[in-house]
Amino acid sequence: MVPLYHILAVSVILFGLGAAGFIVRRNIITIFMCIELMLNAVNLAFIGFSRYLGNPNGQVIVFFVIVVAAAEAAVGLAIIIAVERNRATLTIDEIDSMKM
Amino acid sequence: MEQLILLILIPPLFSAALNGIFGRRFSNATVSLIGCGAAGLAALFALLAAWTYSHLASEPLPFIQSYFTWIEAGPFRADFALYYDRLTLVMTVTVTLVAFLIHLYSRGYMEHEGGYYRFFCYLNLFLFMMLLLVTAANFPLMFVGWEGVGLCSYLLIGFYFRKKSASDAGKKAFVVTRIGDAGFTVAVALLYWSFGSADFGYIFDRIGAMPPGSMQGALTAAGLLLFLGAVGKSAQLPLYVWLPDAMEGPTPVSALIHAATMVTAGVYLVARSSILFAHAPMALAVVATVGVLTAFYAATIALTQNDLKRMLAYSTISQLGYMFVGCGVGAFAAGIFHLMTHAFFKSLLFLAAGSVMHAMSGELDMRKMGGLRSKLGTTWLTFFIATLAISGVPLLSGFFSKDEILAGASEGPLGHPLIFWLAVFTAAMTAFYMFRGLLLTFHGPSRVEPHVASHIHESGSKMTRPLIVLAFFSVVAGYLSWPKAWGGAERFDEYLDPVFGRSTALLAAENLRPAEHSLSHLEIMGVSVAAALLGIGVALWFYLKSTEIPRQLAARFEGIYQLLVRKYYVDEAYDWLFVNPIKRLSDKVLWRSTDAAAIDGLMVDGSAEAALSLGGVLRRIQSGNLRSYATWVLLGAVLWLGYALFHG
């Protein structure tokens, strides 16, 4: 079997990359992709624990997370399209006010 | 009886309130009617109370009456209670009589002054406070009166408050006597701590019942601290400096407060606490020593003063010293006797000086007077009588009281030849400087400036009648105590024996005198009369016959003369030692460092500054930059996770 901490290490690295990208990148869509990356890193961690504790609960949570992530991606992309149509930009630095 | 004692106190208080609140709208006549009327009523009730008390069955025991509970704090209790015994009788009658006469005099003196109603308001308030002081039955209530007279003294000295020297003098009086008041307060606290009560009756009975020599530490300390209060209030060394400056006040004020009543409060305090001092002879010895030194010292200064009122002020300090000598050697009745006679002739002297001042359009420098006798007949006569009295010329009141004090200094329980001879020398000096004052002012060639001379006129009857009455008392008051050496019974001493008898007997029994043969009473009288005549003779020689001699002496002994005229430079010394350092401390430390820098700068401005800068830092979170928000969220999540992992 693969040692647990291998799985966790990958999970942490993925999460870190996602977080770093979330902070650093300017394009909204890239940021969304980083959010997805963070979510999947967490999924990986859950599965690893589930396998090593023999507890199926971890895998059930992963189902929930995937569903939520999908829904969130759908809604989020819809908002991005609306914003892009209104402001003609995808750079997050320029979307900093609520005013139209 | 209970009501009578209260009735002595109420008219002055009521009148002060009336004049104080509504006086501005009253005419001068109304104000003086209320004011003098109150003083007159107080005198009347004082006499009535005296008569009633004398016929009480319980006489001569003190009559104590508590009217209501004033302070009750845990075990500590002080009632509004009044204490009336023979000593109180003497004090109330003297105070109210003299005060009444001075009120009458003020009608004339203050006629053309502004603030007429204010004057009578303060004067009556003072009378109330003084009467409260002498009738109080416990130390805290007495302290109310004590502080009250101090307050009124401040208000009246600074009556002409627009004049800087006057308001300064008022402040000086209050601050210097405050030092004494601190001693008084600590003494009362000590007595309460030792006896569990602050009532005269309780404390003095307890002390009287103790064997001599017990509680020496506490009693001596209490005695010394009480005396410290007396030193401040009665202007003895070293806290006398306020009294000469107090002459800035109107002359009736000088007469009432700084001659006859307030300054005698210290003597009253010592006399009232006689049993305490009898059990603490060391404290009593200090009283006598300070008294005689002050008497001597003040007399030396009075020798050279050129301002008439200043000279009388130093004379008052000196005579107060005499009273403390009387009490200090164990002859408490003699001290009180002198208090009474002094009240009459000293207030007369001041009022006559006021009359002179009135005639001289405000001039008080004796070098610019002279030859006033012809124009100011009544004033001269009364001043002359008072001068004879204070010089101790036989058959006038001053002779009898001074003689009793000298007898006490020689034969009394704590008498000492050093005290006796210093007192005798002081008596000679007193006679000298008083006659100097008389001669410079009323006799000899006129040195008056022409524009002043044209206005010289004898004062009206409102002013001269009280002078005459006081002159009468200055003569006869002494007959209350015709000396035994002349076949009399010394009634006054005998009368006060119930009050002081225990104390005097105790002191005598302790046998503290140096074992020397003392002079007989007749010899003492002879010495005192000789001293008086010597002083008078030299004064007559210097100021009537060979008037160049004083100037020559002053020139030959320039150093000593300057020292005396400049009052031993004590005011300058105090300025250098205490006043200026405190001023510098207040300015540099308390004002600049503490108030401006620390409180204003650090705490007030500083906290505002801190709030602003903290806000400035925290503001940066609200940047409008989405990515920084995201960063903060991430950071927050990491921190929380870390906390949960390691502490949760």
Partner-chain residue, chosen from B626, B630, B634, that has the shortest CB–CB distance to A95? B626
Which CATH number covers residue A70?
1.10.287.3510
pLDDT per residue as tens digits for the range B229-283: 999 999 998 999 999 999 989 999 999 987 788 888 999 999 999 999 988 888 9
Evaluate whether residue A51 is within a structural domain.
Answer: yes
- Higher pLDDT pick, B513 / B71: B71
* Domains: count for chain A: 1
Q: b/e for B446-473, b at 16 or more Cβ within 10 A?
A: eebeeeebeebebbeeebbebbebbbeb
Which residues are CB-contacts of B537 (< 8 A; sequence separation ≥ 6)?
none
More confident residue, B512 or B290: B290
* A71 domain residue, yes or no: yes
Nearest-neighbour CA in chain B from A28: distance (Å)? 11
Contact A23 B625 (CB under 8 A): no
Contact A96 B630 (CB under 8 A): no
Q: What is the pLDDT at residue B26?
A: 84
Confirm or reject contact between B580 and chain A (CB < 8 A): no
Whether A66 maps to a domain, the answer reads yes
Q: Which of B142, B137, B95, B126 is nearest to B2 (CA)?
A: B137
Rounded to the nearest angstrom, the minimum Cα separation between B596 and chain A is: 46
Q: Would A100 be classed as within a structural domain?
A: no
- The model's confidence at residue A8, banded by pLDDT at 50, 70 and 90, is very high
What residues of A are in contact with residue B630 (Cβ under 8 Å)?
22-23
Q: Min CA distance, B622 vs chain A (Å)?
A: 11
Q: What is the pLDDT of residue B513?
A: 64
Set of chain A residues whose Cβ sits within 8 Å of the Cβ of B642: none
Contact B631 A96 (CB under 8 A): no
Please give the residue range of the domain that contains residue A73.
4-89
pLDDT exceeds 70 at position B43: yes
CA nearest to B623 within chain A? A96
C-alpha span between B254 and B246 (Å, rounded): 7
DSSP character string of B466-480? HHHHHHHHHHHGGGG
Q: Is the peptide bond prior to B238 cis by the omega test (within 30 degrees of 0)?
A: yes
Residue A16 included in any domain: yes
CB atoms B626 and A22 under 8 Å: no
Q: What percent of chain A has pLDDT over 90?
A: 69
Q: Answer left, alpha or beta for residue B232, where phi above 0 means left and psi between -120 and 50 means alpha.
A: alpha
Cβ-Cβ contacts under 8 Å, A19 against chain B = 634
In sequence order, what are the beta bridge partners of A91? Answer: A27
- Which residues 219-258 on chain B approach chain A with CB closer than 8 angstroms? none
What is the pTM (predicted TM-score) of this model?
Answer: 0.81
The Cα–Cα gap between B111 and B151 comes to: 24
Buried b (16+ CB within 10 A) or exposed e, B275-308: bbbbbbbebbbbbbbbbbbbbbbbbbbbbbbebb
Question: Do residues B119 and B113 make contact, with C-beta atoms less than 8 angstroms apart?
Answer: yes
| Partner residue facing A92 (CB), from B626, B631, B634 | B626
Mean pLDDT value across residues B68-92: 89
* Cβ neighbours for A97, distance < 8 A, ≥ 6 positions apart: B624
Q: Residue B531 pLDDT more than 60?
A: yes
Amino acid B394: pLDDT: 87
Out of A19, A92, A97, whose CB is closest to B627? A92
Does residue A97 lie within any of the structural domains?
no
Residue A38 lies in a domain: yes
Q: Span B571-588, mean pLDDT?
A: 86
* Residue A10 forms part of a structural domain: yes
CB within 8 Å: B626 and A93: yes
